[in-house]
Structures are given as structure tokens and as C-alpha cells.
């Protein structure tokens, strides 16, 4: 059984993330979307809200599971018996950081491999931060995130 963890902050999930999730679900038997409880960042959405939004977006993908985790990604992957990590690469700017992370993880857990999926061109510019910034200025974000996510973002900025 090939099980992969796709980790991230997902604050909130975008069509870019969903593209990676959908494509990995066709490569692996099971994909666990792991929402990192990141104490260094102050997120717009709570972990529970992020979990709920992703779960709703992946309903049509039976081999995708959504969980949150605290602590080291490698420990989480081991606890789930996952042999692979999935990361998305958008641009060269992502590369250096991702390479460093991957090599560190490989030293800590040589049995776990990281697989990179390059972004689909139409989402290469897309990030959660851009979506939040646009929404904060009242700009339309419906092209970037599922409708239920767009509603939640708009609701946050109305407050």
C-alpha cells in the first residue's frame, strides 16, 4: 500500500493545492492531507476550519483523508505508516527551501521519500497569501478557491 502525506498550512486551501491533491490521489493508494499546526504563523483560519474546508473540497476523492498534526512532519508520516511525502513546486523560488527540507528529512528518516509535483501552469501564480490579500481589498477570488472557501474568506474580512 503506497501511502503519502501532503503537508501544508492550507490557510486556506486553493485550487493549486487541490490540483496537487487530485493528481497525487491518482499516483498513491492513499493520500493524507496533513494540516500543520504552525505555531510560528498566525493563521486566518483555525485548524478545525481549515480541516472542514479541505474535507468538503475532497469529498469526491475516496482515497484522500484530511488530518491535522503538531510537531515534526516526519514523525507524523511515520505514525501514519506513510512512505512518501508530497510537495508542490510552483517556481524556482520554492526550490531552495524545499530541497533543504527534503534533504534534512532524508537524513532523519531515510525510508521516507519526497515526491515533487510541479504545479499546473494555470495555478503557478496562486498562493493562499495572494488570495487573502485580494479578498482583504474586496477583490473577487472565485477563480482561485472553491465557492464554499470563497464564502468563508469573505465572511472573515467582513468582520
Binding positions for ligand ADP, rule: CB under 6 A: 8-10, 14, 16-17, 20, 87-88, 90, 94, 119, 123, 126-128
Is residue 136 classed as helix, strand or coil in its secondary structure?
helix
CB of 15 to ligand ADP, least distance (A): 7
Query: 99 vs 158, which CB is nearer to ligand ADP?
Result: 99
Indicate which residue of 65, 78, 87, 90 is catalytic.
Answer: 90
Indicate which residue of 24, 50, 128, 152 is catalytic.
Answer: 128
Residues 6+ apart with CB under 8 A from 112: 74, 77, 78, 82, 83, 84, 85, 105, 106
CB of 3 to ligand ADP, least distance (A): 18
Query: 30 vs 114, which CB is nearer to ligand ADP?
Result: 114
CB of 146 to ligand ADP, least distance (A): 14
Judge residue 3's burial from the number of C-beta atoms within 10 Å of its C-beta, 0-12 exposed, 13-18 middle, 19 or more buried. Answer: middle
Q: How far is CA 113 from the centre of its chain?
A: 17
26 catalytically annotated: no
143 catalytically annotated: no
50 catalytically annotated: no
Contact assessment for residue 142 and residue 134, using Cβ atoms and an 8 Å cutoff: no
C-alpha–C-alpha distance, residues 142 and 146, integer Å: 7
Catalytic residue set: 17, 41, 90, 128
Amino acid at each position: 500500500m503506497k501511502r503519502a502525506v501532503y503537508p501544508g498550512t492550507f490557510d486556506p486551501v486553493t485550487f493549486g493545492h487541490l490540483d496537487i491533491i487530485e493528481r497525487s490521489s491518482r499516483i498513491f493508494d492513499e493520500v493524507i492531507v496533513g494540516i500543520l499546526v504552525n505555531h510560528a504563523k498566525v493563521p486566518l483560519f483555525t485548524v478545525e476550519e481549515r480541516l472542514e474546508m479541505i474535507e468538503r473540497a475532497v469529498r469526491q476523492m475516496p482515497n484522500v483523508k484530511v488530518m491535522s498534526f503538531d510537531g515534526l512532519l516526519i514523525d507524523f508520516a511515520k505514525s501514519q505508516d506513510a512512505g512518501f511525502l508530497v510537495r508542490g513546486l510552483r517556481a524556482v523560488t520554492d526550490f531552495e527551501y524545499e530541497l533543504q527540507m527534503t534533504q534534512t528529512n532524508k537524513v532523519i528518516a531515510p525510508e521516507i521519500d519526497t515526491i515533487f509535483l510541479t504545479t499546473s501552469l494555470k495555478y503557478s501564480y496562486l498562493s493562499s497569501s495572494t488570495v487573502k490579500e485580494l479578498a482583504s481589498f474586496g477583490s473577487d477570488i472565485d477563480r482561485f478557491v472553491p465557492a464554499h472557501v470563497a464564502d468563508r474568506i469573505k465572511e472573515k474580512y467582513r468582520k
